[in-house]
Amino acid sequence: MINIQLLTVAAVFAALALGCTSNDASNNGALATEIEPRPTPHIDWSDFIRFGGTTYLPWHIDKDPPLQDEDLGPLFGRVEFKYDGIVTDPFYSPDNRKDGDAAYLEIGTPVYIVDGYKPEFILAARRNGKLSLYMSDSHPNAETGSDLLDLEGKVKYIGVNSPQDSKSELAAIIDQLQIDSLVSMILDAPVDLNIRNDPESDVYFLAFHLYDGITFSRGYVPPHNLMSGGIQLPVAFRIAIGDTIQLSE
């Protein structure tokens, strides 16, 4: 009788132990499922490179015929850090950008001066096997427009493009004397990055067509007389652009 009772008690403990083991295994499986690493988020960075304290962008600039090796000047630098696939914080501040940083160019990619232009204005690099132009956007130490743009004697004509699509030409300035005057105003204008646009104001795009086939455009807000990059233009500039638009209507 005693032996039967002992066997029964032993069987109960064995069943309890088996149940605990089964539950532990189940819990461990659930825990393993819960702590699976999340996939790295994909971030669509705005394309840029940064050199000499200047941020350069590939937007709104092109060349026809396309840029060739013979258009390149000396090597200016190499990419030292790539954001894409490495920086995973979508709120990573642009203030953290350093010289040698790039959004998409591979580490070690050579960046060149463009023959005939100051490196403060444009640079060139290969992306996906194609030469691309990068234009200066802003520099914290820029004092005048000439610290960002290199236009003297290079502009063939200036187009005033639509605020709606930035590409439809509303008017064109083709008189060389007027072009040279407007270019001088831009290069001499002070730069102030603290000025903010009224979001309700229309942003026109001034398209600069250069003699060598490079075309680029920059945003221009007539009410504030402000060009992108913080270039604060004189009243005479706004009058000239306004007159050009009115004459074309």
Identify the residue whose tokens are 């001034």: 206
The rounded radius of gyration (Å) of the Cα atoms in the chain is: 30
Token pair recorded at residue 64: 């026809």
Entry pTM: 0.79
Beta bridge partners of 208: 158, 216
pLDDT tens digits along 6-52: 444 444 444 444 444 445 444 555 545 555 655 556 677 889 999 99
The torsion of the CA quartet 6, 8, 10, 11, rounded to 10 degrees, works out to 160
The Cα–Cα gap between 153 and 244 comes to 21
The residues facing 62 across adjacent strands are 215
pLDDT of 152-168, one tens digit each? Answer: 999 999 999 999 999 99
CA atoms within 13 A on the CB side of 240: 22
Cα separation, 134 vs 49, in Å, equals 8
